[in-house]
Structures are given as C-alpha cells and as structure tokens.
Homo-oligomer: A and B are copies of this chain.
C-alpha cells in the first residue's frame, strides 16, 4: 500500500457500495478563507459576507471555491478538533484532550459498538464515530437531543450515531446484553449504569466515565468494583503548556486547569 492508493484504504471503511458512496458524498466539508470558516454539506448554497458560495455535489478537499463576488475559499476535510468549534453547544463540550484519553484507554476503533450517555453537544459521540464506532447515545433533554442530531449530521456521522432522547437508566432492559464493546458516560447518575456494565458489555469491553467532582467519581469507582469489573482505575490529568522564548524554557505560568476525573474499568 502507498499513499497513492490510500483511497482504497479509506474505501475499506467508507465502503464501496452505492449507499456508502452517497453517504460519503454527503459528508460536510470546511470552507476556509483566513479566519472565515464554514462547515457545509456538498450541494448546499452558503451566504457569506463575501458573497454566495455554491458548493458542488462532488466538492473535494483541496478544491478551491469562489463566491459570486470572486473571493476564494479553500475546501478542507473536517477533523475532530474542528467539531469543538463548529458544533452548536448545549453545554461545555468535552475537550479534545479528554476525548483522546477516552479513545486511547478504551481503544475505540473500527467496528466498535458504543453505548454513550449524556450526549450533550455530542463531540465525544461524533469523535468515536469518526474513529469507526457505531454509537447509541442517550440525552435526557429533548432540545439538547435535537441539537445533538444536527451536530451529528454536521459531523457527517448521523448514519452511525443514534441519538436517543431519554434516560439511559430507564432504557437498560431494552438494550441487548453483551451488545456493546465500550460504554462511555458523562452523567450525574453514571454509577447506576456502571452497575449494569457487566451485562451490557462484551467480554473484554471497557467502561469509561467522566466526572468533574471527586464524590461522584468515588461512587463510580466503588460501583465498578462492586460490579466485579476489572482494572478499575481513576485518573486525574494535569496538563501544562510549555513556553519557549529567548530567556529560556519553562512551563506556562497559566496552566491548563482541571476538567474532570476519568474512571476506566474492564469487563473480564
């Protein structure tokens, strides 16, 4: 394989049959000019302060589009960190750092079936979907759920993310046992779901819980142990930007703050 035939590589997951092709065509792209950045679907018409942009159905990353006033915009593929800026927010979205930690510690990959609760803005669900996972995600607030569905379309993953309105705790019996590879939770009552993780997860599956406060984090960790989940661990992450200037190198005097504790456990 070389980078020349990498399309073949992406075929492997976007699929070669009509459906997938069409799906691929529907994937929104970024139109960028300096600080201006728009996330639009192929075939759409986009009004900007620099004039109207007609986006071809067959638009491709790398193309250049012109507004009817002749201003150029460059076409880009959407990347995970872009979701953070382009998704409509219904709350503070999980930051790329924590999304990465969840993906890295649970090994989210092609073919995973993920149960997610506390959809919120949906950045985590969309990021896992972009990494190849099928995601079922629950959001209690109907309005938030609607926004999340729009965000999934914006992220080009509405075909693999099923945003359900409701409380996952009340839906547990409707979920097939051993039907998920990973469970990701960002809700106040995460512990109630963790208690059922052994039934919901396949053998070897992971549960990952994000919780900002130590009390709820402790409850989650204790529940995971009581449920006989293996390798239960809670990690706190502190990050600091490094500053490099003529005077020398040092950690920033304005470090990155606390976001949340991440608790991981495995079904064994």
A99 beta carbon closer than 8 Å to chain B: yes
A contact residues, range: 35 or more
**What are the residues of chain B within 8 A of A261 when measuring CB–CB?**
242
CA distance A77 to B201 in the complex (A): 12
A22 beta carbon closer than 8 Å to chain B: no
Q: Which of B115, B237, B257 contacts A237 (CB 8 A)?
A: B237
In the complex, identify which listed stretch (A44-52, A178-186, A190-198) lies at the interface while the others stay far away.
Answer: A178-186
Contact with B along A206-236 (1 / 0, CB 8 A): 1000001111111001100000000001111
CA distance A242 to B258 in the complex (A): 10
CB distance from A238 to the nearest CB of B (A): 4
A162 beta carbon closer than 8 Å to chain B: yes
Q: Which of B113, B115, B244, B247 contacts A234 (CB 8 A)?
A: B244
A104 beta carbon closer than 8 Å to chain B: yes
> Which residues does A use to contact B, with CB under 8 Å?
1-4, 6, 8-10, 12-17, 19-20, 23, 30, 32, 61-62, 74, 76-77, 79-83, 96-113, 115, 127, 130-134, 136, 159-160, 162, 175-176, 178-181, 202-206, 212-218, 221-222, 233-242, 244, 247-259, 261, 268
Q: Could you list 20 examples of A-B contacts with CB < 8 Å?
A: A1-B160, A3-B136, A10-B112, A10-B134, A12-B134, A13-B111, A76-B204, A77-B111, A77-B204, A79-B106, A80-B104, A81-B107, A104-B127, A107-B130, A110-B131, A132-B132, A217-B242, A234-B241, A235-B242, A255-B257
